[in-house]
Structure 1
Amino acid sequence: MNLPKQEKQYLPIIVVLRGLAALAVCMFHFTKEFVNEDGLVRAVFRNGWMGVEVFFVISGFVIPFSLLGTSFRFYHYFKFMKKRFIRIEPAYLISVVLVVILSYAASQTPGFAGEPFKMSIGLLIQHILYLVEFFNNTWLNPVYWTLEVEFHFYLIIGLLIALWNLKKRWLTIASIIGLFSVSFINQDVITFFKYTDIFVLGILTAFYKKEQLGLKPYIASLLIVSFVVYDSHGIIISLLTLATATLISFASSYGNVKSLIFLGNISYSLYLLHVPIGVKIVNLSKRLDLNETSKYGVILVALSFSIFAAWLFYKYIEKPSHQWAKKVKFN
């Protein structure tokens, strides 16, 4: 049997939040160390990097939401991983190739002042297998570390949902508490461990939205986890991730704004490409003697080129991958 229609449920607020999170991360990278530190634009986007935490809450929500209460079982796990790989890997791997080409080309341009571009087969394999941090190497694109975190989450969440669907409720709850508790480990073992509390906010929200968790227990759990997020990541991230979970829970009918829906649809491609394209444009402009107004123009150009490239990437690479992934059925 195939999964029922729950897998295809669509929440516009998720798409909107993805678009806003991707835009925030872009603007953080475009304005960082470029525009006036005391200016309004820099002040607005100084914490734009926190869009990553919004992505983690969304990821914590989306997969449990699609699988809870369905026929998904342990014997579907490898097809689940196959489905995730088909959905996200083609865009990621092609972006890696693009980063290598653009980084090499940039290092050959006159006036290049950065470190010489270095690439090896070993580093490429580490990127493919998400092992860069385990070899103490540097990611070719600074946003790639988050994909490793997401990959580790995929390895775990499929097992947890299969456990819940088998009616092993207390064992699942204990496992989620164990996952949550990993965030208390005060050591740099695996980066994913630092963010398990944020993923749990999304997991709890999925359980609530699928009516596997009542309103009062949900709110109580949300507040407890948010306090831990505050202790681990600070007040701003705690409030931001709590707000994200709350919006998903209670504002799901909102968000039919075409521009934001568009950004949300291309958000993954935009996230992958804004550094090799947009940041490269910003860095090239640093060779010029620009006033502050001109710098804002450069940022607009960088954002426009990044969005256009992301749209092409989404249309010809990411979207076909989504269609391909849909053909993988949990029989």
Structure 2
Amino acid sequence: MIELSYFLRMRIKQIDILRGIAALLVTIFHLTGSAGLSKATASYGSYGWLGVQIFFVISGFVLPYSMYKTGYNISSFGTFLIKRIVRVYPPYLVAIAIAVAMAIATGRELLYGITLLSHFLFLNELLGLHSWSPVFWTLFIEFQFYILIGILFPIVVSNNYKSLAFVFVMSILSLLFSRSIVVYWFPFFGLGILIFNKYFTNMSLKMFWFGITTLTVLIAYVHGISHAVAGLSAVLFILFVKADQETFFNRALFGLGNISYSLYLVHWELGRAAVNISRHLPFVGSNEVIKVLTGLAFSIISAYIFYILVEKPSVRYSSRIKYNTRLISIKRAFKRA
């Protein structure tokens, strides 16, 4: 119980810091790849896309943990999905509105018909249609994971052998699916699920490390060495890195973790726009590092405003929806806001 209580006090903060790192990686990847910047600058952030894989590992732990903590059971599946939609969807819709506004302002081609409508169901990647933003595809993967874990959560918590078998079977099936289906990415989610099992279902250390090692090898085979390194690094960070020291660096990353979803949504449009605009500032000139830093600063400021105005209310509304309640309680949660 000492280990578990320590985990509850400290490891959730670890995960927020890891979220901040993942969001920062993805943001830098996209900003350094902005139009007009050199290949040398782009190379600085060339591995930032691995932040997405880190996000998947985090979700693999956080979602089962949240469901376990709040007493989820399969009869609450509908309420669970509503909670996730209320949490994720409003910021996503506003991000789409920002993308449309930026397209109009910059003269980019607008999306119409099925291409536009598919955004509202996260279906662009699955249907092979153009998307307003290259970051939106991961939301579809995450939502598939919500459905999958909501249905199969009893297996995750019922028995360690069943849970490990579930993770292995789903991960092996990743060999058969395309990148637009959650199963393809399941080995990353599986790493997070195993961390949950280690702390909350008393999975033995031998079973845990056997599972982690097997999944890491599978990820290296299916996705590549860099993906495997990202996934394993996320696991080791959650397990062993301490965040109890109140340093400026820890506080900054923790703050980024709090706004990581907002930063993920807005940096593509607003951050890259800031990079492009910064080239016209007299003190910047041809210094590409300053251009990227300008875009990064504007991304973080925009994400913080987005978080306060859009994401935080969504979090509040979602938290008011409780399991094992009738639909009317969901309506009341919004009326009390």
Deviation of the 1:173 alpha carbon: 4.2
Deviation of the 1:220 alpha carbon: 1.2
Residues of 1 paired with 2:262 and 2:245: CA distance? Answer: 20
Q: Does 1:213 align with 2:203?
A: yes
Q: Does 1:123 align with 2:115?
A: yes
Residues of 2 paired with 1:207 and 1:168: CA distance? Answer: 9
When normalised by structure 1's length, the TM-score is: 0.86
Deviation of the 1:303 alpha carbon: 1.2
Measured on the aligned residues, the alpha-carbon RMSD in Å equals 2.6
When normalised by structure 2's length, the TM-score is: 0.84
Q: Cα 1:133–1:74, aligned 2, differ >3 Å: closer, same or farther?
A: same
Which one has more relative contact order, counting CA pairs under 8 Å at least 6 apart?
1
Q: Cα 1:254–1:237, aligned 2, differ >3 Å: closer, same or farther?
A: farther
Q: How does 1:162-181 map to 2 (within 5 A)?
A: 162-165=154-157, 167=158, 171-181=162-172
Residues of 1 paired with 2:291 and 2:202: CA distance? Answer: 49
Residues of 1 paired with 2:51 and 2:27: CA distance? Answer: 9
CA contact (8 A) 1:209 1:249 kept: no
Residues of 2 paired with 1:145 and 1:290: CA distance? Answer: 37
Matched with 2:16 is 15
CA contact (8 A) 2:103 2:110 kept: no
Q: How does 1:94-113 map to 2 (within 5 A)?
A: 94-107=94-107
Q: Cα 1:308–1:193, aligned 2, differ >3 Å: closer, same or farther?
A: same
Matched with 1:230 is 220
CA contact (8 A) 1:16 1:261 kept: yes
The aligned length equals: 313
In the alignment, residue 197 of structure 1 is paired with which amino acid? P
Residues of 2 paired with 1:75 and 1:252: CA distance? Answer: 37
Residue number among 103, 121, 132 corresponding to 2:124 in the alignment: 132
Q: Cα 1:194–1:286, aligned 2, differ >3 Å: closer, same or farther?
A: farther
Find the residue that maps to 1:138 and give its secondary structure.
coil
Percent identity between matched residues is 31
Matched with 1:37 is 39
Matched with 1:49 is 49
Matched with 1:273 is 266
Q: Cα 1:183–1:131, aligned 2, differ >3 Å: closer, same or farther?
A: same
Q: Cα 1:188–1:265, aligned 2, differ >3 Å: closer, same or farther?
A: same
What stretches of structure 1 of length at least 5 have no aligned partner?
Answer: 108-115
Matched with 1:306 is 299
Deviation of the 1:289 alpha carbon: 11
In the alignment, residue 26 of structure 2 is paired with which amino acid? V
What stretches of structure 2 of length at least 5 have no aligned partner?
Answer: 325-337
